[in-house]
Amino acid sequence: MKSKKLLVIMMAVMLSILLSGCSASAMNANSWSGLSADTEKAYLANGSLVYAINLDNGSVSWQYPADKADAKESYFATPVVTEDGQLLLASAGTAHSLVSVNAATGVVNWIFGDSEGIWIASPIVVDEKIYAPNTDGKLYAFDLNGNFLWAKHLGGPLWSQPVVDGNFLYINSLDHNLYAFDIQKEDIAWTTQLSGAAPGSPLLGADGTLYSGSFGSKVEAINTDSQTIKWDFATSGWVWDAIALEGETLYAGDLDGNFYAIDATNGDSIWGPVKPNGTILGAPLVTEDFIVIGTESGTAYAYDHEGSTLWQQAIGGQLYGAPVQGGELILFSPMENDSILVALDTEGRQVWQFTPEN
C-alpha cells in the first residue's frame, strides 16, 4: 500500500514535468519569423531577437536587444520601416510589446506594452499615425512618438497588416470578415464576409478592387464600391498569406502545395496549378522577370510569367515566410535551419547566408 501511494506521488511529479515540458516545447514550436528590407539592410525578426543585416555581405549591423534576448518577447511580425527612420517591431511573446527602435542603430525609441493580446500583424503608418492590428481584435492607433491615441474593436483575432487607399484601412480578420476602417471617422465603414478565416493581408488593385485568400480555400475579389464579392476562385487547399498581383494576373499558393495564376478581372485560371515540392504559405514575390515562392520543404522556385520553372534552389529548413527583395537580392528566412537568412541572386545562386552566433 505504501509503495502504491509512492507510485501515485511519483506519477504526479512526472505529470507535472511532462505538462511543463509540453508547455515549453509549445513555446518553442510557436516561433515564426518576419522579414523586410530596404536597399541597404534586411530586418529579420526571429524569436526574441531582431537583426539588422547588411545586404552587401550578410554581416550584422545591429541586433535588438543589443545584449541579451528577452525571453518574454517573441517577434513574429515583419518589421516596418517608417519614413522618419523608425523600425516598428511587434512581439507575440508573453510581454507582447510594440517597440520602436532607430532603424540605423537599433536603439529604442519607445515601447507600448498595454495591449490585451499579442501582436502577430505588422503595423502600418498612414499620415504620421501608426495603426496596429492586434490578436485581441482591436486596431490600436499611436502617433509617431508612441503616444497611444485610441483602440477600436473590429472583431476576431487580427493577424495581418492592413492595406490603405488613402481613406480606408482594409483589414482581414480570422473571424472571416474583411473590415474597411474609415481613417477620418476612426470607425468601421463596412465589412464583407469572406469564405473563411483570413490570416494574410488583402491586396489592393489599382482599380480599387481588393483580393484576398482565406481558409475557405478560395481567392476572392471584393468590389470596394459595392462592398460585395465580384468573383471567387476555388483553390485546392487553404490560402494562408497575401496573394500577389502583376498587371492583371494574380499569383497565389495554397497549403496543398499548388501555385496558381488567376485573371484578376474575372477570376479565371490563366495557368496552373503547378506543384512545387511542398506546402506554400508565404506570399509570392513578383518581379519584372519572374515570380519567386518558397515551400515548406525548404526549396525556392522561380517561375516565368507563363508558369515555366526558371530555377529552383534548395535552401533548407522550412520557407514559411514570404521571400523579400533587398536591392538585387532575393531573401528567404528559413525556420528550423542553422542559417536564418539566406540571400540568392536573381538566378537562384546563393550569395550569402546569415547564421547567428550560438
Partner 1 sequence: MWDTYIIIPMTNVLLFIYDIIGHNFGIAIILFTILIRAITWPLTAQQLKGTQGMQELQKDKEWLGIQKKYKDDKEKLAQEQMRIYKERGINPFGSCLPTLIQFPVIIGLYQSIIRSLAATPLSLLNFSRNLYPFLDVTEIVPLNSKFLWMDLGRPESLPIFGFDLPVLAVIVLITSYMQSKLMTPPANPGDQSAAMGNMMSIYMPFFMGYLAMTFPSGLALYFITSNILGVAQYAMMGRANWSNLIPGRK
Q: How far is the CB of 5 from partner 1 (least distance, A)?
A: 5
Nearer to partner 1, 7 or 149 (CB): 7
Q: To 10 degrees, the CA torsion angle through 226, 170, 173, 28?
A: 160
Residue ranges binding partner 1 (CB under 8 A): 1-2, 4-5, 7-9, 11-12, 14-16, 18-19, 22-23, 26, 29-32, 76, 92, 118, 120, 135, 156-157, 159, 174-175, 195-197, 199, 215-217, 238, 240, 255, 281, 320
Tell me how far apart the terminal alpha carbons of the chain are, to the nearest angstrom.
50
The 3 state secondary structure assigned to 202-267 is: CEECCCCEEEEEECCCEEEEEECCCCEEEEEEECCCCCCCCCEEECCEEEEECCCCCEEEEECCCC
Q: How far is the CB of 29 from partner 1 (least distance, A)?
A: 6
Q: How far is the CB of 167 from partner 1 (least distance, A)?
A: 29
Nearer to partner 1, 181 or 240 (CB): 240
Nearer to partner 1, 14 or 107 (CB): 14
What is the residue-wise DSSP string for 253-322? Answer: E-TTS-EEEEETTT--EEEEEE--SS---SPPEE-SS-EEEE-TTSEEEEE-TTS-EEEEEE--SB--SP
In whole angstroms, what is the distance from residue 153 CA to residue 165 CA?
A: 21
Q: How far is the CB of 275 from partner 1 (least distance, A)?
A: 18
Nearer to partner 1, 32 or 311 (CB): 32
Nearer to partner 1, 86 or 235 (CB): 235
Q: How far is the CB of 337 from partner 1 (least distance, A)?
A: 14
